[in-house]
Structure 1
Amino acid sequence: MNQQLAHIKCSIDHRGVASITLAREAKRNSFNQQTITELITTIELFAEHPGIRVLLLQANGKVFSAGADLSGMQQMADASPEQNYQDARLLAQLMRVLDTFPAPTVALVQGAAFGGALGLICCCDIALLADDAKFCLSEVKLGLIPAVISPYLLRTIGHRQLSRYLLSAEIINATTAVNLGLGHASHKVDQLANAGEQMVKQLLLNAPMAQQRGKQLIRQIADHPINDTLADVTAEKLALIRNDSEACEGLAAFFEKRPPNWQLNGDEAALSQATTITDPKRSQP
């Protein structure tokens, strides 16, 4: 990158686990245009790297994110319709690049996650919550609506539940969030990082290309009627993957009673280079 990142931190470890950390604690990790741009740029760089196995999204401090920076939102009240559209479209782009990230994505959520922050969480494949996590679609309190994130919320919690929480702006605690499907599990605050690491280790056990194809499959079949066309599509996908090198290795490892040797397209040197490009502590000016 041409400049250091100011609002996020990122890294890649030797396993191919990429981490993005919201690092704007003084502003409760709220995101303005710069934050959104930094997130888009970093996620797109990670998405292009063949050695990335998992993307971890987390936040510094006691709060995951207060959502949009309201001072910036207030300034946009005097902007033209086109400027407001472009600003909102940038947020939509962020949600899209995270939602379509090729490798598994995991969100670790502590404290408050309000407004647009819920969109980030719903765009991740897996969300693990601290037991102090709380959520709110607070937009209607400000005369706004969560338009950009609404498709991801609707997919995650359904029409009926979204209607309630969008209209009421109620606080949702961690237990309710898990019941709604916003999170997969709730953990004590001091155990959240360990729960995240255990999930990462579980994901790393599995075939990387199969995981990517699995994500693509879910998107392709979502809301598709179960009919002969869908049967043909899914049968074709299974038939094609059975002859793949990953499938051959996985089956061989099973019958030989050994761990599979999953081959990555990226090596450790390439991972190190990617870290240099994106880590603000090591970025080139």
Structure 2
Amino acid sequence: MTDTALKIERLGADARIARVTLNRPEVRNAFNEALIAELTQTFKTLGQDPALRAIVLAAEGKAFCAGADLNWMKAMAGYSWDENHADAGRLAEMLWTIYSCPVPVIARVQGDVYAGGVGLVSVCDMVVSLESAGFCLSEAKLGLLPATIAPYVVRALGEQASRRYFVTAERFGAAEAHRLGLVHKLAADEEQLDHKVELLLSAVLANGPAAVRACKKLVQDVAHAPITPALRDDTARRIADIRASAEGREGVQSFLNKSKPSWLG
């Protein structure tokens, strides 16, 4: 057994990138209380670092995340309703913490993703997957349902595809996940997987740090929101705020003067 549920590294000379690696390969990186707690605290801490520009969420071993740990499931079998509610609440809090993390999160999917693991991928902003990886929302096979992950999976996979895969619990491949929009980029092997993650990191790092965080928040706030006068005014205020900011002014002047802004070095 590994000693810690996660490995956390800071990458690059200026440590602007964090890599968080699920480190339970012997159980296919399945969730238990310890892993959920560690992920929650890790992303809360990383999200508070103003110097951090991106986070890569990766995994050790053959599977990315197989959902719930069997021992954890055995313990849950004897839980009361209140205990089940509290337990599910901790998973819901972990998913929300990653989803709402102000720093962009890139999932590096090197293997199969099952049940709650699909939720974990769905809360990431960008997903790069091996072509050989499989996905499955398997809860219904156990007489359960993917409730806590549903708000994120339905957004990422789409309502119609979610209707199918929630109720059939069929396995689907990375190519289908890509077609449906859950996965953004496919890779033939791990070398290509790392290369495509690096391309996304380079794209993020080329942009204004404050603008990137504001863009992530903007998408979350306007997605599915009715286009009311209040929303229109809110978006006008956001662009006014960033145009008037030091970063916004520098970015526009750099573009007009054909010079590099400070975030490009």
The alignment status of 1:23 with 2:23, answered yes or no, reads yes
- Contact 1:241–1:247, Cα closer than 8 Å, also in 2: yes
Q: Provide the residue aligned with 2:61 in structure 1.
A: 61
Matches within 5 A, 1:183-194: 183-190=183-190, 191-194=192-195
Decide which moves more: 16-25 or 246-255.
246-255
Tell me how far 1:23 sits from its aligned partner. Answer: 0.8
Matches within 5 A, 1:136-155: 136-155=136-155
Structure 1: how far apart are the matches of 2:93 and 2:231? 29
What is the identity, as a one-letter code, of the residue corresponding to 2:124? C
Q: Secondary structure at the match of 1:102?
A: coil
Tell me how far 1:158 sits from its aligned partner. Answer: 2.1
Q: Provide the residue aligned with 1:78 in structure 2.
A: 78
Structure 1: how far apart are the matches of 2:67 and 2:84? 17
Structure 2: how far apart are the matches of 1:187 and 1:66? 20
Identity of aligned residues (%): 38
Structure 2: how far apart are the matches of 1:186 and 1:228? 40
Q: Provide the residue aligned with 1:11 in structure 2.
A: 9
Q: Secondary structure at the match of 2:65?
A: coil
Tell me how far 1:226 sits from its aligned partner. Answer: 2.3
What is the identity, as a one-letter code, of the residue corresponding to 1:141? K
- Contact 2:157–2:177, Cα closer than 8 Å, also in 1: no
- Contact 1:114–1:138, Cα closer than 8 Å, also in 2: yes
- Contact 1:249–1:262, Cα closer than 8 Å, also in 2: no
- Contact 1:105–1:125, Cα closer than 8 Å, also in 2: yes
Q: Provide the residue aligned with 1:216 in structure 2.
A: 217
Structure 2: how far apart are the matches of 1:44 and 1:229? 30
Q: Provide the residue aligned with 1:261 in structure 2.
A: 262
Higher RCO, 1 vs 2 (CA within 8 Å, ≥6 residues apart): 1
Matches within 5 A, 1:155-170: 155-170=155-170
Aligned Cα RMSD in Å?
A: 1.7
Q: Provide the residue aligned with 2:243 in structure 1.
A: 242
Q: Provide TM-score, normalisation by structure 1.
A: 0.88
Tell me how far 1:236 sits from its aligned partner. Answer: 1.7
- Contact 1:118–1:135, Cα closer than 8 Å, also in 2: yes
| Unaligned ranges ≥5, structure 2 | none
Structure 1: how far apart are the matches of 2:259 and 2:132? 41
Tell me how far 1:15 sits from its aligned partner. Answer: 3.8
What is the identity, as a one-letter code, of the residue corresponding to 2:216? K
Q: Provide the residue aligned with 1:43 in structure 2.
A: 43
What is the identity, as a one-letter code, of the residue corresponding to 1:7? A
- Contact 1:5–1:38, Cα closer than 8 Å, also in 2: no
User: Structure 1 stretches (4+) deviating beyond 6 angstroms?
Assistant: none
Structure 2: how far apart are the matches of 1:259 and 1:69? 49
Structure 2: how far apart are the matches of 1:227 and 1:28? 46
- For these two proteins, the number of residue pairs brought into alignment is 261
Structure 2: how far apart are the matches of 1:28 and 1:49? 30
The alignment status of 1:96 with 2:69, answered yes or no, reads no
- Contact 2:128–2:193, Cα closer than 8 Å, also in 1: yes
Tell me how far 1:206 sits from its aligned partner. Answer: 0.5
Structure 2: how far apart are the matches of 1:155 and 1:125? 12
CA shift digits 1:225-274 (9 cap, x unpaired): 224332222112112211111111111221222221139xxxxxxxxxxx
What is the identity, as a one-letter code, of the residue corresponding to 1:157? L
CA shift digits 1:200-231 (9 cap, x unpaired): 11110001111111111112211122243322
What is the identity, as a one-letter code, of the residue corresponding to 1:194? H
Q: Secondary structure at the match of 1:79?
A: coil
Structure 1: how far apart are the matches of 2:88 and 2:81? 10
Q: Secondary structure at the match of 2:103?
A: coil
- Contact 1:54–1:203, Cα closer than 8 Å, also in 2: yes
Q: Provide TM-score, normalisation by structure 2.
A: 0.94
Structure 1: how far apart are the matches of 2:241 and 2:66? 45
Tell me how far 1:5 sits from its aligned partner. Answer: 6.6
Q: Provide the residue aligned with 1:269 in structure 2.
A: none
What is the identity, as a one-letter code, of the residue corresponding to 1:129? S
Tell me how far 1:116 sits from its aligned partner. Answer: 0.4
